[in-house]
Amino acid sequence: MIILRAEELTYQYSTGTPFEKTAIDHVNLEIEEGAFVGVIGSTGSGKSTLMQHFNGLLKPSSGHIYLNGQDIWADKNKLRDVRFRVGLVFQYPEYQLFEENVYRDIAFGPSNMGLNDAEIKLRVYEAAAFTGLTEEQLFQSPFALSGGQKRRAAIAGVMAMKPEVLILDEPTAGLDPMGREEILAEIKKYHQKTGCTVMLVSHSMEDVSRYTDKLLVMDKGKIFCYADTNEVFKCADELARIGLAVPEITRICNSLRKKGIPLDESIYTVDEAVRQIVHYYKSKSGGDV
């Protein structure tokens, strides 16, 4: 089933001035319900702008956005409802924390939805569990947390709205490798447990390749490609042309293949590379390893 659909979506800003720019250019796209989609593209490719259209924060200059088949701009009064159904976590979301404690901050979204206290409590604890926040941390001031914990509290604030689609714009920006790994693992867990559609915007090919099943590649306001993750990495050269580097391991495997080692065209994790090289090594040496 298709949960989100963009139809001939175009977004221009500063229209009619010399600074006019088309950020999104006639985009057609269908996102399947329950998918884990990586969104990648260089700065200015329009990926963040597109995401802000999906929850109605930006209004298309022309074209339509459909959520479960309903045009989200058909009834302006229901727009707020769309924002609860398509949760958007901005880049550096910790800059939006404002409440006196983490619990109340996470509860901000759910209480805006008009839920009762019992339901809010349930959701706050559930979201805290997804993001690995402890009970003790829930009643601390958000400003007393470490950088990584603040980021988690902010993500939990959107998860607690139980959106049908969760969009995260660069959730790991500025974190160290351990922090990155932890947050990505938590998002993966959230996706597996809830079955919700998740869209992960990232600059890092390594990150999106390891976690997502589909990849949306944007370039200059257009969709460069939208396909299964392993398919996308087959076109390493084209990606390089639009300024996107495939993971190092993909480049290594491509070089090895050119030198005669029979590896698949679409290797993008170290573990898969190891598996295939070991397999070939065994076959060559008669399986005595």
Partner 1 sequence: MSVQLIAENLCFYYTDEDGNRLSGDVLKNISLKIEKGSFVAILGHNGSGKSTLARLFNGILVPISGKVLVNGIDTSDDDNIYEVRRHVGMVFQNPDNQIVAAIVEDDVAFGPENLGISPKEIRVRVDNALRAVDMYDYRLHAPSQLSGGQKQKVAIAGIIAMRPDCIILDEPTAMLDPKGRNDVINTIHMLHREYGLTVVLITHYMDEAAEAERVIVMDNGEIIMDDTPEKVFTKPEVLQAVGLDVPQSTELLWKLNMSGIPVPINAINEEDCVDTVINLFT
Partner 2 sequence: MLKDITIGQYFPGDNLIHRLDPRFKIVMTLLYIIMLFMGDELYSLSFGIVYCIAALVLSKIPVKLFGKSIKPLLPILIMTAILDIIFIREGTVYFQAGFFKLTEDGVFTAVKMIVRIIFLIIGSMLLTYTTSPIQLTDAIERLLSPLKRLHFPVHSFAMMMTIALRFIPTLMIETDKIIAAQKARGAGFDSSKLRDKAKALVPVLIPLFVSAFRRAEELATAMECRCYRGDIGRTKMKSMNAGICDIVSLTITFIMFFAAATVAVLF
Angstrom distance (rounded) from CA 279 to CA 263: 10
Judged by beta carbon, residue 48 or residue 250, the one nearer partner 2 is 48
Question: From the CB of 90, what's the least distance to partner 2, in Å?
Answer: 5
Single residue of 38, 41, 46, 87 touching partner 2 by CB under 8 A = 87
Residues 6+ apart with CB under 8 A from 126: 159, 160
Judged by beta carbon, residue 37 or residue 159, the one nearer partner 2 is 159
DSSP secondary structure string for all residues of 104-170: HHHHHHHHHTT--HHHHHHHHHHHHHHTT--HHHHTS-GGGS-HHHHHHHHHHHHHTT--SEEEEES
Single residue of 84, 226, 233, 268 touching partner 2 by CB under 8 A = 84
Q: Which does 97 bind (CB under 5 to 8 A by kind): partner 2, partner 1, none?
A: partner 2
Task: Answer yes or no: are the C-beta atoms of 282 and 289 closer than 8 Å.
Answer: yes
Question: From the CB of 80, what's the least distance to partner 2, in Å?
Answer: 6
Question: What Rg, from alpha-carbon coordinates, does the chain have?
Answer: 21
Single residue of 9, 38, 41, 90 touching partner 2 by CB under 8 A = 90
Single residue of 113, 175, 225, 242 touching partner 1 by CB under 8 A = 175
Tokens for 67, please give them. 């959520």
Q: Which does 185 bind (CB under 5 to 8 A by kind): partner 1, partner 2, none?
A: none
Task: Answer yes or no: are the C-beta atoms of 62 and 253 closer than 8 Å.
Answer: no
Question: From the CB of 42, what's the least distance to partner 1, in Å?
Answer: 6
Angstrom distance (rounded) from CA 142 to CA 102: 5
Residues of this chain that interact with partner 1 (CB under 8 A) are 42-43, 146-148, 173-179, 203, 206, 243, 245, 247-249, 251-252, 255-256, 259, 261, 270-271, 273-274, 277-278, 280-281, 284, 289
